[in-house]
């Protein structure tokens, strides 16, 4: 169900509940979209994130993956080497994505010198509270062994990836997380290639230096001279002078993008959930409407 | 097995390799491993087997297992002025890592019938203080040119032990050759000092260390069993 279909359903449901209310407080399209966005935020927060610990929130999100899968991002992390500045033999600070709601996993290419030796093995880190990670601190009396890296949230912006005394390197670090829902908006546009594998001209909806989202695998540029392979879901910035996105050669596969990045015209939930979002939006509208229609107490 | 592999193996047996709440530091594990190593050496040197005891070099297995610890030293400097000496005795300082003597021999100098200095080799016989008292004046059992008595004495400095070598006074000791079983070097995980015993013993050392460590962990309280109706 796209945004217009949801808006129509909103009108129908609100009028069915109380036509008088709806006529008197008829919301604009902008207001209805706002109710939908608030309904989505409330739904995600109440159903998955209102739990006291990160571990519980993460488990809740993983259990609800069928509903939340479109909001799961997976991206290469921005990393700062902190080895030597913290009491750990090896540590790297990961700058967390600003749109993250819940961290699901961190992994990277891991090497260690011994017990057991590893050379560039892909290893998933273990998420743990920072207080527990202190046991990996090295000292004159301790050379701890922990054969996989530990990820500990340092604060709301950073995550520490900590290795034991035998860790030699962790590279290609990627984070997998639940991000905020893209904002429902009538400003969102999608552009699709004319034929399978055909190039797509993107400058008609994406202005230079603005972000857009690839919705199919293709080829674009990270700067005017560097061509990169783009995966579906990847965030891209429009490079000045680069107006075409090359399509893939897969059969039945048209090149497609959405812009601006961070917006959408369809809730990122499975189709069967959309009506529930509309219901929640209508309920929020009616709750507010009741407050607006309560007569003021007459002054004596 | 290196020291770090021993730590890994120890933690594997304690089921703490993949636990972030590790109860033991490397230093603690060093203590367990070293205690276990000492126990293994002592057991191999004089193992109890029911009512019987086997002794070092009694079979090829034990000879091989402790072979790395057999060491030789030649002592040529003796203390002949200490007031604690017995008559005709001298003190020889044995090394810090000395554990058990395996074989002892002395080179002695005596004056032969042509009044010239001559050299000979003497056996060394360890005796107790009681034996000394009983036999010191026994012409058939007291030391002679081909027999030196050895008694044990402590050293005023550190852990070093002294051997008191006793002659009959007609010859002097020029060289005391001691072949002994030495104490194995301390395993140190942080500094990377590995166990120097034969590798066939490493697994047993870790096993014993883990058993000892497990005995120190708090045991779960007994759960009252439900009575069956």
Using 50, 70 and 90 to split pLDDT, how confident is the model at A121? very high
CA separation (Å) from B85 to B79, B165, B172, B177?
9, 9, 15, 20
Please determine, for residue B89, whether its predicted confidence score (pLDDT) is greater than 70.
yes
DSSP assignments along B76-110, one per residue: ---B---TTPPTTEEEEEPPTTEEEEEEEEEEEEE
Does B22 lie at the interface with A, CB-CB under 8 angstroms?
A: yes
Gap from A131 CA to chain B (nearest CA, Å):
10
Binned at pLDDT 50, 70 and 90, residue A220 comes out as very high
Minimal Cα distance from B189: which residue of A? A143
Report the alpha-carbon distance of residue B164 to residue B126 in Å, rounded: 10
Residue B161 has pLDDT above 70, yes or no: yes
Peptide bond into A116 cis (omega under 30): yes
For residues A145 and B121, give the distance between their C-alpha atoms in angstroms, rounded to a whole number: 55
- pLDDT recorded at residue B160: 72
Cα A270 versus chain centre, distance: 16
Helix or strand holding residue A282 (H, E): helix A274-293
Compute CA A143 distance to the chain's CA centroid, rounded to the nearest angstrom: 38
N- to C-terminal Cα separation, chain B:
54
Say which DSSP state A72 is in: E
CA distance B194 to B209: 15
Q: Residue B202 — very low, low, confident or very high, per pLDDT cuts 50/70/90?
A: very high
Which chain A residue has the Cα nearest residue B3? A115
Report the residue from B2, B18, B20 with minimal CB separation from A135: B20
Q: Do residues B165 and B78 lie in contact, with contact meaning Cβ atoms separated by under 8 Å? A: yes
Contact B22 A135 (CB under 8 A): yes
Residues of B in contact with A148 (CB under 8 A): 18
| Percentage with pLDDT > 90 across chain A | 68
CB contacts of A146 in chain B (<8 Å) are 17-18, 20
- Using the beta-carbon criterion (under 8 Å), do B20 and A145 form an inter-chain contact? no
pLDDT score recorded for residue A56: 94
pLDDT-derived band at A124 (thresholds 50, 70, 90) equals very high
- Per-residue confidence band for A160, with pLDDT thresholds at 50, 70 and 90: very high
Selected residue with higher pLDDT from B5 and A246: B5
Provide the shortest C-alpha distance from residue B92 to chain A (in Å).
Answer: 37
CA distance A132 to chain B (A): 7
- Cα-based distances in Å from A132 to A135, A162, A273, B65, B205: 6, 11, 39, 42, 30
Distance between CA atoms of residues B3 and A118, nearest Å: 18
Count of CB atoms situated within 10 Å of the CB of A27: 19
Q: What is the pLDDT of residues B14-36, one digit of tens each?
A: 999 998 888 999 999 999 999 99
Is the pLDDT assigned to residue A251 strictly greater than 80? no
**What mean pLDDT is reported for chain A?**
90
What pTM does this model have? 0.79
pLDDT per residue as tens digits for the range B31-72? 999 999 999 998 888 876 665 666 778 788 888 888 999 999
Prediction ipTM score: 0.76
Q: How far away is chain B from the Cα of A77, in angstroms, using its nearest Cα?
A: 24
CB-CB neighbors (< 8 A) of B18 in chain A = 146-148
A vs B: CB pairs below 8 A: 48
User: Who wins on pLDDT, A55 or B56?
Assistant: A55
User: Is a pLDDT exceeding 70 seen at residue A295?
Assistant: no
Task: Name the minimum distance, in Å, from the CA of A107 to any CA of chain B.
Answer: 17
Q: Is A143 on the interface with B (CB under 8 A)?
A: yes
Q: Which pLDDT does position A70 carry in this prediction? A: 94
Residue A243, SS3 per DSSP? coil
Distance, CA of B26 to CA of B63 (rounded, Å) = 31
Please tell me what DSSP assigns to residue A46: I
Q: Does any CB of chain A come closer than 8 Å to the CB of residue B194? A: no
Determine what percent of chain A is predicted with pLDDT higher than 70. 97
Q: Is B52 exposed, middle or buried, given 0-12, 13-18 or 19+ CB atoms closer than 10 A? A: exposed
Which of A116, A143, A150 lies closest to B190 in CB terms?
A143
Measure CB to CB from residue A128 to each of B8, B20, B189 and give the nearest one.
B20
Q: Nearest CA to B36 among B15, B13, B64?
A: B13
Contact A116 B18 (CB under 8 A): no
Question: How far does B21 lie from chain A, in Å, by closest CA?
Answer: 7
Q: Is B135 on the interface with A (CB under 8 A)?
A: no
The confidence score (pLDDT) of residue A275 equals 95
Length, in residues, of chain B: 229
pLDDT (mean) for B141-153: 94
What was the pLDDT predicted at A123? 94
Cβ contacts of A136 on chain B, cutoff 8 Å = 20
Residue B227 has what pLDDT?
58
What are the boundaries of each domain within chain B? 3-50+197-216, 67-182
Of B4, B8, B27, which is closest to A141 when you measure between CB atoms? B27
- pLDDT-derived band at B154 (thresholds 50, 70, 90) equals confident
The whole-number pLDDT of residue A75 equals: 87
The rounded percent of chain B whose pLDDT value lies above 70 is 91
Cα separation of A167 and A246, whole Å? 41
Instruction: Please give the average per-residue pLDDT across A105-127, as a whole number.
Output: 94
CB-based contact, A145 to chain B, within 8 Å: yes
Q: Are A103 and A74 in contact (CB under 8 A)?
A: no
Give CA–CA dist A286/B115, Å, rounded.
129
Is some CB atom of chain B closer than 8 A to the CB atom of A89?
no
pLDDT score recorded for residue B186: 96
Interchain contact, A142 vs B4, CB within 8 Å: no
* Contact check, Cβ <8 Å, B4/A145: yes
For residue range A201-213, list pLDDT tens digits in order.
998 888 999 999 9
Per-position DSSP letters for B10-43, written without gaps between them: HHHHHT-TT-SS-S--HHHHHHHHHHHHHHHHHH
- The answer to whether B18 contacts chain A (CB < 8 Å) is yes
Closest-CA residue to B149 (of A30, B134, A50) = B134
Query: Chain A within 8 Å of B17 (Cβ-Cβ)?
Result: yes
Q: What are the residues whose beta carbons fall under 8 Å from the beta carbon of B111, sequence distance 6 or more?
A: B117, B118
């Amino acid at each position: 169900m796209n945004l217009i279909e949801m808006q129509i359903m909103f009108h129908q449901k609100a009028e069915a509940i109380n036509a008088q209310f709806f006529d008197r407080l008829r919301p604009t399209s902008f207001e209805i979209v706002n109710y939908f966005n608030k309904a989505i935020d409330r739904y995600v927060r109440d159903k998955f994130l209102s739990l006291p610990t990160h571990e519980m929130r993460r488990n809740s999100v993983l259990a609800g993956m069928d509903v939340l899968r479109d909001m799961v991002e997976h991206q290469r992390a921005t990393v700062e080497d902190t080895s030597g500045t913290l009491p750990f033999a090896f540590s790297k600070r990961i700058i967390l994505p600003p749109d993250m709601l819940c961290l699901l996993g961190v992994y990277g290419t891991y090497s260690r010198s011994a017990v057991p030796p590893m050379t560039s093995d892909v290893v998933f880190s273990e998420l743990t509270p920072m207080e527990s990670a202190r046991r990996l601190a090295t000292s004159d009396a301790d050379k701890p062994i922990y054969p996989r890296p530990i990820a500990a949230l340092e604060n709301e912006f950073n995550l520490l990836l900590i290795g034991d005394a035998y860790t030699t390197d962790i590279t290609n670090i990627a984070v997998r997380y639940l991000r905020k829902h893209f904002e429902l908006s009538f400003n969102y546009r999608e552009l699709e290639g004319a034929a399978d594998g055909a190039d797509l001209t993107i400058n008609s909806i994406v202005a230079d230096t603005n972000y857009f989202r690839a919705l199919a695998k293709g080829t674009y540029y990270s700067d005017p001279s560097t061509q990169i392979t783009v995966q579906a879901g990847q965030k891209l910035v429009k490079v000045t002078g680069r107006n075409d996105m090359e399509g893939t050669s897969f059969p039945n596969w048209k090149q497609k993008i959405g812009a601006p990045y961070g917006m959408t015209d369809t809730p990122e939930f499975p189709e069967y959930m959309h009506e529930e979002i509309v219901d929640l939006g209508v309920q929020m509208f009616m709750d507010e409407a009741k407050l607006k229609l309560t007569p003021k107490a007459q002054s004596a | 097995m290196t020291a770090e592999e021993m730590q890994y193996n120890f933690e594997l047996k304690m089921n703490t390799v993949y636990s972030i709440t590790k109860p033991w530091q490397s230093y603690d594990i060093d203590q367990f491993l070293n205690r276990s190593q000492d126990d293994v050496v002592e057991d191999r040197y004089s193992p109890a087997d029911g009512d019987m005891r086997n002794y070092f070099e009694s079979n090829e297995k034990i000879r091989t297992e402790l072979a790395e610890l057999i060491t030789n030293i030649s002592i040529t400097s003796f203390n002949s002025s200490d007031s604690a000496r017995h008559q005709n005795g001298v003190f020889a300082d044995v090394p810090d890592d000395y554990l058990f003597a395996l074989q002892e021999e002395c080179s002695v100098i005596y004056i032969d019938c042509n009044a010239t200095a001559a050299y000979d080799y003497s056996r060394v016989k360890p005796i107790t203080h009681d034996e000394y008292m009983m036999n010191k004046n026994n012409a058939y059992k007291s030391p002679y040119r081909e027999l030196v008595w050895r008694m044990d004495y402590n050293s005023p400095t550190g852990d070093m032990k002294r051997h008191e070598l006793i002659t009959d006074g007609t010859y002097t000791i020029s060289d005391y050759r001691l072949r002994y079983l030495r104490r194995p070097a301390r395993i140190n995980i942080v500094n990377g000092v590995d166990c120097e015993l034969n590798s066939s013993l490493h697994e047993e050392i870790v096993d014993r260390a883990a058993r000892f460590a497990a005995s120190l962990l708090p045991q779960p309280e007994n759960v009252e069993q439900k009575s069956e109706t």
